[in-house]
Amino acid sequence: MTTKPELLVTVFSDYICPFCYIGSVRLDALREQFALKVNWVSLEIHPDNPAQGRPVEELGYPPEQWQQMMDALYRMAREEGVHIAERSFTTNSHKALLLAEAAEEEGQEIFYRLHNRLFEAYFGERQNIGDDDVLRTLARESGVSDDTVARAWREERYEQRLKTNLVAAAKLRVTGTPTYVIGKRVLVGAVPTATLHDAARQARAG
């Protein structure tokens, strides 16, 4: 059995970023060729959003620009076999990001169950992942313990990680999500899978 070469990828991402959802699916395609290790850097893109949610119109995009973004998103989703429901609201992702930070301590399998479930619930099922009860349910579905959920929202170290992530993003001049760091390359947006493969090969070649 041939051992796959290791590849470390850092991704700045948020669970309310639709292109991060697409980007996560596309990144998974690299697992066919590489032993992929992903450093997910939680980056809150709309900290001013209320947890109860607000209409997407309040994000301030001109209608024509918003429609272009959504057309591109739905096209990408079809290409990747991902279901994204029509978007009517946005929410606050802070507690979801804290939960993901804590879930990583339960192992990669549980983390990825939660990681994928957060995206699916928000974009595919229109669930409000800013709501505590919704997050608790998604955590249980993903195998995250109740103790981990409580710890995620209680302990300051997880808040500190999000602050540290902001500093790291500023140093790399990250201005949008998703942003990938693969070797010496920095890729912004839900770039095609082929672009990710090219960057991966370059990183392995040194």
Domain extent for 195: 6-205
Structural domain contains residue 184: yes
How far apart (Å, rounded) are the C-alpha atoms in residues 20 and 164? 20
Query: What distance lies between CA 204 and its chain's CA centroid?
Result: 24
Structural domain contains residue 117: yes
How far apart (Å, rounded) are the C-alpha atoms in residues 147 and 37? 26
Structural domain contains residue 137: yes
What is the reported pLDDT for 133?
A: 98
How far apart (Å, rounded) are the C-alpha atoms in residues 191 and 81? 16
pLDDT at residue 60 is higher than 70 = yes
* Burial class, 69, CB count within 10 angstroms (exposed 0-12 / middle 13-18 / buried 19+): middle
How far apart (Å, rounded) are the C-alpha atoms in residues 82 and 48? 28
Helix, strand, or coil here: 159?
helix
**Structure-token pair, residue 165:** 């992530």
Structural domain contains residue 1: no
Structural domain contains residue 79: yes
Read off the CATH number of the domain in which 35 is found.
3.40.30.10
Structural domain contains residue 34: yes
Structural domain count, the chain: 1
pLDDT digits (tens, 9 = 90+) for 111-154: 999 999 999 999 999 999 999 999 999 999 999 999 999 999 99
What is the reported pLDDT for 156?
A: 98
Structural domain contains residue 148: yes
What is the reported pLDDT for 1?
A: 58
CB under 8 Å to 27, separation ≥6 — which residues?
Answer: 9, 11, 36, 38, 180, 196
Which helix (H) or strand (E) segment is 38 a member of? strand 35-42
| Pairing outcome for strands 54-55 and 35-42 | unpaired
**pTM score, whole prediction:** 0.95
